[in-house]
Amino acid sequence: MHLLALETATHRLSVALWLDGRVLERAAELPNGSSEWLLPNVHALLAEGGVGLKSLDGIAFGAGPGSFTGLRLAAGCAQGLAYGLDLPVLGIGTLAALAFASGETRAYVCLDARMNEVYVAAYENGVEIISPIVCPPAQAQAPSGEGWIGCGDGFASYGDLLPRFLRTRPELRPTADAVARLAAPRLARGEGLAASEAMPLYVRDKVALTTAERLARGGTK
């Protein structure tokens, strides 16, 4: 199976190519995100792997939660490529991808959601224990049991307000490599969707806040 994976939900943008179990990846840290980075690196990665778009069997993308702009970028790119090639598309949860990328048995995942909120979820051996939610850091609930590791940039931004763990890894981000590895077996089982059905998972329902709401959350005009 040849699978293209895209992950742009955070400032760390990445693309990966699954080639029958071998994974190639390109990544860049872009504080403001960049739609100009994505497609050129998709084509460069395909060239590196020695395959063309027409040899792909599916496309996966980091579906969220995460940056609204980033989620739309990955979903739109995946849909656009899939339409032209009539390929199945599969969205992979950003927090699940981060947990997988961590390699931890028990991963409590937390990403900075801006507006004084975080996206959190918990996974044990890849099984979702706490479903992705958005909440103020002080309201984030810790899973029961010991051995949990805090993963994600939420711990860099709000570490004093979040549940305490013996160890945290705030440098971790979701990766296209993880998206590819999670998506490959599911696409092989026929779980891919038509391009028109592949949508981002925003979690936060309201994208835009009024000035009054931003100020109430401690933001700026």
Omega before residue 65 within 30° of 0, cis: yes
**Does position 211 have pLDDT exceeding 70, yes or no?**
no
Question: At residue 102, does pLDDT exceed 50?
Answer: yes
Supply the CATH classification number for the domain 2-94+174-216.
3.30.420.40
Domain boundaries, the chain: 2-94+174-216, 96-169
Tens digit of each residue's pLDDT (9 = 90 or more) over 108-151: 999 999 999 999 999 999 999 999 999 999 999 999 999 999 99
Confidence grade of residue 213 (pLDDT, cut at 50, 70, 90): very low
Topology adopted by domain 96-169: Nucleotidyltransferase; domain 5 (3.30.420)
Task: Give tens-digit pLDDT for 148-192.
Answer: 999 999 999 999 999 999 999 999 999 999 999 999 999 999 999
- Looking at the chain, how many residues does it have? 221
Q: Are domains 2-94+174-216 and 96-169 of this chain identical in fold?
A: yes
Cα separation of 55 and 139, whole Å? 47
| Coil vs helix vs strand at 85 | helix
Report the alpha-carbon distance of residue 177 to residue 26 in Å, rounded: 9
Between the CA of residue 33 and those of 2, 61, 142, 192, what are the distances in Å? 27, 16, 31, 27
DSSP string for 44-60: HHHHHHT--GGG--EEE
